[in-house]
Amino acid sequence: MRALIVDDSRFIRQHLRQLLEHIGLICEEATDGWEALALLRGNSSFTFMLLDVNMPRMNGLECVKILREAGLQRPMKVLMVTTEVDNSFIRRALDYGADEFLMKPFTPENLRDKLVMLGLAA
Amino acid sequence: MECTDIGPTLLCQTPVTRTANTSGLEQLVSNLRTDQTPQLHRAAAEAMTINGTSFFRDPILFDILRKLILPQLFKANHADRKLRIWSAATSTGQEAYSVAMLIAEYFPELENWDIKILGTDISSHVIDWAQHGRYRLLDVNRGLPARMLLKYLVRDGDEWQVTDSIRAMCEFRRLDLCAEVPGHHGFDLVLLRNVLLYLSSLDRQRAFRAAHSQMKKHSYLMLGAAEQAEDSTNLFRAKFEGNFCYYRALPGPEAA
């Protein structure tokens, strides 16, 4: 399974890559929504995208909205990760097409729980 | 519950020895045997309990509840429109609230049924917590789907509180696992998970007998993934759904 990690922090991308690779996912990285969409429009197919919200150029909300409206990588599951914990914000992310939501800070077990919920881990 | 099986490391690391004014484990155990006042026994119980839990812990179990067991119970109880569920060793209440959310989400036609989910635990500290139904970020991040969070919990400062409608389905009480639940008989479903593995064989059998005596015949018992009712086959019959094992109560008071 291939995963795309989208976050503007190199440290966070590396950390998430370690966690995901540990449970057997093959990872690629993008630094913002714009770069993520460019990758998703390419030939590679992804099973899962871990998407930060606050990023320069294009944030996670815009990215997931465009992704779903364009019908790109249709079966791909999108897990949004953010410090935004307001219920209205979470609702908007789900309405735009995110499949699940994880609030920072989180533990590796929290991430694994979400992957189980999305049917990507047992 | 027997106090002879107390894990020494757990007890020695906690202030319970100070509460009991003892210097060592042997004297503490001796005091527990002779001192019948509840204070010391409760302090020992609080010190021993681990209280690990999360929302929708073990998703396969909740899948089986949703697809198999709850539909069967709703069919069987259609006449009196009543359902009684016991979440034993419920800790901070996430298991009881998860069952309530599951019912509200997937069986909205049961809105007018008399449904009560009783959560019990030997620790009063966690029962207080469960009654308030307030959880921190680390709790709501564990096992709770985002759509359930939005629908069944309300943000309040740094915490989230379970909605009134879900809390109204649940009741919490401090209770020893091996004791009878006063005023509650005829449970249709008992969740007794991830606690038996810490008990001696004798206490396990007592817990099974106590649960069985309060269950309807052919009602359901769910244990943790690492637990079996192998020493209580006279009370429960194992059933399998794929690799998942659950139990049904055999009829009879003590089907010895």
Q: How many CB atoms lie within 10 A of CB B184?
A: 16
| pLDDT of B6 higher than 60 | no
Return mean pLDDT, chain B: 85
Q: How far is B138 from chain A (nearest CA, A)?
A: 7
**Could you give the percent of chain A with pLDDT greater than 90?**
84
Residue of A nearest to B62 (CA): A117
Return mean pLDDT, chain A: 93
Report yes or no: B117 and B72 within 8 Å, Cβ to Cβ. no
| pLDDT of B39 higher than 80 | no
Q: Side by side, which strands form the sheet with B159-162?
A: B134-135, B159-162, B153-156
> Angle at the Cα of B70 (from B243 to B151), degrees rounded to 5?
105
Residue B10: predicted pLDDT: 45
Range 46-85 of B in CB contact (< 8 A) with A: 54, 59
The answer to which of B43-57, B132-146, B159-173, B234-248 has the lowest mean pLDDT is: B43-57
Across the interface, do A100 and B146 touch by the CB < 8 Å criterion? yes
Q: Residue with structure tokens 């950390």?
A: A15
| pLDDT of B110 higher than 50 | yes
Q: How far apart are CA A113 and CA B63, in angstroms?
A: 15
**Cα separation values, B22 from B10, B19, B35, Å:** 15, 8, 13
Chain B hits for A85, CB-CB cut-off 8 Å, are: 137, 155
Q: Where are the beta strands (DSSP E) in A48-107?
A: 48-52, 77-82, 100-103
Across the interface, do B149 and A90 touch by the CB < 8 Å criterion? yes
Residue B14: predicted pLDDT: 55
**Could you give the percent of chain B with pLDDT greater than 70?**
84
Peptide bond into A105 cis (omega under 30): yes
The complex scores an ipTM of 0.87
Question: Which amino acid would we find at residue B160?
Answer: W
Q: How far is A100 from chain B (nearest CA, A)?
A: 6
| pLDDT of B2 higher than 60 | no
Quote the distance between the C-alpha of residue B240 and its chain's center: 21
Residue B194: predicted pLDDT: 84
Contact status of A88 with chain B (Cβ, < 8 Å)? no
